Amino acid sequence: MAKEKQKFERIAFVASDVPEAVEAQEALIKRYGETEPAEADVIVALGGDGFMLQTLHRFINDRIPIYGMNRGSVGFLMNDYREDQLLERLAAAETSRIHPLAMIATDANGKAHKSLAINEISLFRQRYQAAKLQIAIDEKVRLEELICDGILVSTPAGSTAYNLSAHGPILPIKSSLLAVTPISPFRPRRWRGAIVPNKVHIKISVMEHEKRPVSAVADHFETRNVIKVEVEQARAVELFMMFDREHGLEERVLAEQFRF
What residues act catalytically? 49
Secondary structure (H, E, C), 126-169 = CCCCCEEEEEEECCEEEEEEEEECEEEEECCCCCCCHHHHCCCC
The answer to whether 83 and 28 have CB atoms below 8 angstroms apart is yes
Phi-psi region of 171 (alpha: psi -120 to 50; beta: other; left: phi over 0): beta
Cα separation, 109 vs 47, in Å, equals 38
- Name which of 43, 38, 37 is nearest 8 in CA terms: 43
